[in-house]
Amino acid sequence: MHSFAADNYLFVLSSRLLLIVVLFGYTLAGCFSACSDPEPAKEPPKRDYIKRIAGANDSIPVAAAQRGEVLIAYADCYTCHALEHRAKGPAFKDIAARYPVNKGYISLLAQRIILGGSGAWGNPVMTPHPALSKADAELMVSYILSLK
> Phi and psi dihedrals of 137, rounded to 5?
-60, -35
List the interface residues with ligand HEC, window 7-46 (CB under 6 A): none
User: Binding of ligand HEC at residue 88 (CB under 6 A)?
Assistant: yes
User: Binding of ligand HEC at residue 139 (CB under 6 A)?
Assistant: no
User: Binding of ligand HEC at residue 86 (CB under 6 A)?
Assistant: no
User: Binding of ligand HEC at residue 72 (CB under 6 A)?
Assistant: yes
| Buried-exposed string 105-132: b where 16+ CB fall within 10 A, e elsewhere | bbeebbebbbeebeeebeeeebeebeeb
Number of residues that bind ligand HEC (CB under 6 A): 28
- Residue 91 has a CB neighbour count (10 Å cut-off) of 23
| CB of 145 vs ligand HEC, minimal distance in Å | 8
Helices (H), 51-91: 62-74
CB 64 within 8 A of CB 142: yes
Q: Which stretch binds ligand HEC (CB under 6 A): 22-30, 48-56, 57-65, 74-82?
A: 74-82
Nearer to ligand HEC, 60 or 126 (CB): 126
User: Binding of ligand HEC at residue 100 (CB under 6 A)?
Assistant: no
User: Binding of ligand HEC at residue 133 (CB under 6 A)?
Assistant: no
- 70: number of CA atoms within 13 Å, CB side? 6
The span from the first CA to the last CA of the chain, in angstroms, equals 79
User: Binding of ligand HEC at residue 141 (CB under 6 A)?
Assistant: yes
CA distance 108 to 62: 20
Using CB under 6 A, list all residues that contact ligand HEC. 72, 75-77, 79-81, 88-90, 95, 109, 112-113, 117-122, 124-127, 129, 140-141, 144
